Amino acid sequence: MKLTIYGSGCAKCRQLTANAEAAAHALGLEYDVEKVTDVNTIIADGVMHTPALAVDGTIIIEGKVAAAEEIEALIT
């Protein structure tokens, strides 16, 4: 599974990354994390609000820091 975090690298982005990793770990999934900080790439990928999380190329969270439990529910 590929987890992509979109954002500037701020505290909220780091928290979303940690929550996404915790969710994947809790589910026993193998994953890679990619962080996208380039504004042009973020826009080209269709993200309008950061932080955002995509799983295998599909944006599932946008504009908020979701809890690990919420992310678990979305990726199962």
Catalytic residues: 10, 13
Please state, in angstroms and rounded to a whole number, the distance separating the CA atoms of residues 53 and 64.
9
Sheet holding 32-36, edge to edge: 32-36, 2-6, 52-55, 58-62
